[in-house]
Structure 1
Amino acid sequence: MALRGLLTLLLWLVAGPAQALCISPLCSCSVTTTNVVFGNHNPLASSNTDSTGSVRVGCGGVAGLLIPYQIDITRGGGVSYGARRMNSGANQLAYNLYTDNTYLTVWGDGSGGSQSVSSGILLDVLGLSPQQTHWIYGRIPGSQTTAVPGSYIDTITVTVTYN
């Protein structure tokens, strides 16, 4: 019997508290995220379903100040970074999040085969910086034939640590 219907998928990204060594009024930073929304996925198809979300980091403060930071994301409801899962009731669907569009490096916290993303912001002469955007590349592997139709979701926490 062929499975009919498509799965509607949404991955929520939650920005965790930003931790900063830059002390107000010398600097302040903000973090915003956009969700990875996969839309409909046909579990009988052999092709992958890809989508993107983002983490944006912006800072302001003393001119010329360099603010290095690291972005970690949790494994969500999965038991490991290599086995992230979205849930629809008791049903699960495998997916993962990656640092770039080669889909080779799992984005996490540096443990369990995952890697964090590190960068830095240099404040201009006015003590400002444009927001830096870091793309999150999501992938649902094809041929998950045991998946049933439904709305699948997982919640990932994003933590930005300023060094």
Structure 2
Amino acid sequence: MKPLLRLFAVLALLAFAPLAAAQSCSIDTQSLQFGVQQGLPTGQIDMTTTIVVSCPRGIGAIITGYNVCVSIDAGSGSGSTVADRRMSLASPAGSFRYQLYTDGAHSQVFGNTAATGVNVTFPWLDGTPSRSIVVHGRVPANQNGQAVGTYTSQLTVTMYEQGALFGTPASCGNAPAATRTFQASLQLQPSCTITAQPLDFGVYSPTAARDGATNLSVTCTRNGAWSLALDGGSVAGDVNNRRMRLGAGPATINYQLYSNAARTSVWGAAAICPPGVSCLGTGAAQSVPVYGRVPAGQGAKASGTYVDTVTATVTY
């Protein structure tokens, strides 16, 4: 009987002894892609990724329990901190704010220490080989002024691990056991809006040309290239033969639209970058002049207001 008692006593002493062996568990990560944002300001974007923690659970290994913690650092984004994580663009320099959370309610920030990360356990005799940790990411709404491009941050995941035979350690400890990296990214694509003012030629003269001008206002995402086209109008539908009409009747007056002040370059349905305009978005409104001319020699016309509706299309 005494040898059996001694053997049992030895096993009891070993049961909750921490393992001094090298790392036994591992982690695997996936990228966090916030997708494509079309123009600004941003809407709120919520996405998730997963960290998988795996520990040995085969025959022989199942008698060991593990306590594992996982943390995530601030990331490589310019100016990023754990409290204010950032994805950045190298050129032109800029960043988007985002945050990582441990919960779906987005209330607990995923920290960079064992105590502020996520804890999982692998009790001894539990044969489940892995645990999945969901990382909840959020890009806050109403961010504005960023340039077109792909914003990224490289994040380092650190695992802390303790194991024990015939038991589960009370904590994961504070010594890093392994690290892995993953990338958070957001692609910003351009978006544009356009507004127009009427072009008023004034009073028609059958013997003299009448010149007029107006301005379009184009607002595009910063660093997004754009170009502009003008159609043939609602009366003629022909960029080479634009006409204004009096009411619904047959009376018309010929006119033309140009991209330059000299009125030598007809502005047609093919999108162009007009002379003297930087067709690269600034995030603010850009003024685009449109020059018009009613040629002389069209003879007498019935009195009234002649109108044509031209559609301006911005391509980006």
Alignment of 1:1-150 (within 5 A): 21=19, 23=21, 28-42=24-38, 44-45=40-41, 47-60=43-56, 62-77=61-76, 78-89=79-90, 90-110=93-113, 115-124=116-125, 128-150=127-149
- C-alpha distance 123-42 of structure 1, shift in aligned 2 (>3 A): farther
- C-alpha distance 93-33 of structure 1, shift in aligned 2 (>3 A): same
Q: List alignment gaps of at least 5 residues for structure 1.
A: 1-19
Q: List alignment gaps of at least 5 residues for structure 2.
A: 1-17, 163-316
The TM-score normalised by the length of structure 1 is 0.74
Structure 1 stretches of at least 4 aligned residues deviating more than 3 Å after TM superposition? none
Instruction: Work out the CA distance in 2 between the residues paired with 1:93 and 1:54.
Output: 22
Percent identity (aligned) = 27
RCO (CA 8 Å, sep 6+): is it higher in 1 or 2? 1
Assess if the C-alpha contact under 8 Å between 1:57 and 1:131 holds in 2.
Answer: yes
**1:41 CA displacement:** 2.1
- The residue type equivalent to 1:104 in the other structure is S
**1:146 CA displacement:** 1.5
Which structure has the highest strand share of the two?
1
**1:81 CA displacement:** 1.2
- The residue type equivalent to 2:55 in the other structure is C
Q: Report the number of matched residues.
A: 138
Assess if the C-alpha contact under 8 Å between 1:59 and 1:123 holds in 2.
Answer: no
Q: Which deviations, in whole Å up to 9, do the C-alpha atoms of 1:69-124 show, x marking residues without a partner?
A: 1101100134421211101111111001100111111101249xx92111211243
